[in-house]
Amino acid sequence: MLVGDFLEMGEIYDDEELLYEPEPEEVESPRDVKIDEAKHTLMEELFGKERQKVFYGQQIRVLFEKDFYHWITGKALIELTDEGKIDSVKIPLDGETTIRFYWSKKNRYWKRQIQRSKKLVMRFSGTDIGRAIGRQAEMLFDAALPTVGFMPVARKVREYEGRRWKKTEHDLDRVYTRDGVAYGAEIKNRLGYIGRDELETKIEMCEELGLKPLFILRFAAKSYVEIVRKAGGFLLMFKWQLYPFGQEELAKEVRERLRLPVDCPSRIEDGTVERFLKWHLKELRGV
């Protein structure tokens, strides 16, 4: 399968992380009414129809990401647990990393299922494969973007054409250029969102270095798309997490057992980078 089923909302709208991402910190903020909608959906579609299964937090957020922001789903899970409508447990995964599982109160065999799911998560959460996954996206887009004229001219960038970023230790994954326009690119091949602070820092870096921001992400909140648009940049989403070559069987097992959007393609589909090209040309015309 090529990575063809892409979400692309950009026109409007040293990645060495573990493939499993720890539960995010919940930030205190005014309560969103969408949480109630998410709670109802989770109880009906997940803990109702699939009451004999267990799920972990990041998995649930991804399963429902077309309907709810990840943080909305996360807060809905917390409230459902606090209200006693579902059960949950946090268990060690590896070292100090933990993972939280959720299940219906009608599930009698949750312990056995948790152990099976934990074993699969540990198979794809090692440091080595996590690094390989981050690099896989960079490699595939380094090959795909030049086919529509965007050439990689620098990597791990903190300085560009005499300008230097000094405020933090961050760098940009790439600089791509076409038609005299230079893009500071951040490439994330993760299931979860890029952090809001990191998103804003990378945009500030691009401004300081005289670059247009380009974010190449598996998925992002619509609010993030708007932030990038207002900064004069583009956010390209590719939906499927890209596994390294040779990991087809693991990707298939994760896709089938956990229903997560993972794949092991040989290249990025032409239409994906062509959408970025279309936006780029439109910007040049000032339309």
Computed over its alpha carbons, how large is the radius of gyration of the chain?
20
- Range of weakest confidence among 20-29, 187-196, 256-265: 20-29
Give the pLDDT score at 126: 66
The span from the CA of 212 to the CA of 203, in Å, is: 8
State the residue for tokens 């910190």. 25
**Can you spell out the DSSP letters for 197-243?**
HHHHHHHHHHHHHT-EEEEEES---HHHHHHHHHTT-EEEE--SEEP
Exposed, middle or buried, 205 (CB in 10 Å: 0-12/13-18/19+)?
A: buried
With CA atoms as reference, report the closest residue to 122 among 35, 20, 240, 221: 20
In this structure, which amino acid lies at residue 287? V
Extended strands (E) in the chain: 54-56, 86-94, 97-104, 151-157, 159-160, 163-164, 172-178, 181-188, 212-217, 234-237, 241-242, 262-263
The predicted-structure confidence for 89-127, as pLDDT tens digits, reads as follows 999 887 778 999 999 999 999 999 999 999 898 888 766
Residue 269's SS3 state is: coil
User: pLDDT, tens digit, for every residue of 7-40?
Assistant: 333 322 233 333 444 444 444 457 889 999 999 9
Q: Tens of pLDDT along 117-134? A: 998 988 887 667 777 888
What does the pLDDT read at residue 11?
27
Interval 38-59 mean pLDDT? 96
Confidence of residue 272 (pLDDT cuts 50, 70, 90): very high
**pTM of full prediction above 0.95:** no
**Vertex 71: Cα angle to 69 and 74 (nearest 5):** 115
Nearest CA to 54 among 120, 119, 101, 20? 101
Q: Per the structure block, which two tokens stand in for 97? A: 């990393």
Pairing of the two strands 163-164 and 159-160: antiparallel
Give the largest CA-CA distance in the chain: 63
> What is the distance between the alpha carbons of residues 64 and 46, in angstroms, rounded to a whole number?
10
195 — phi, psi (to 5°)?
-65, 145
pLDDT at 29: 59
Q: What is the pLDDT of residues 154-184, one digit of tens each?
A: 999 999 999 999 999 999 999 999 999 999 9
Is the CB of residue 169 less than 8 Å from the CB of residue 181? no
Backbone angles phi, psi at 52, to 5 degrees: -100, 15
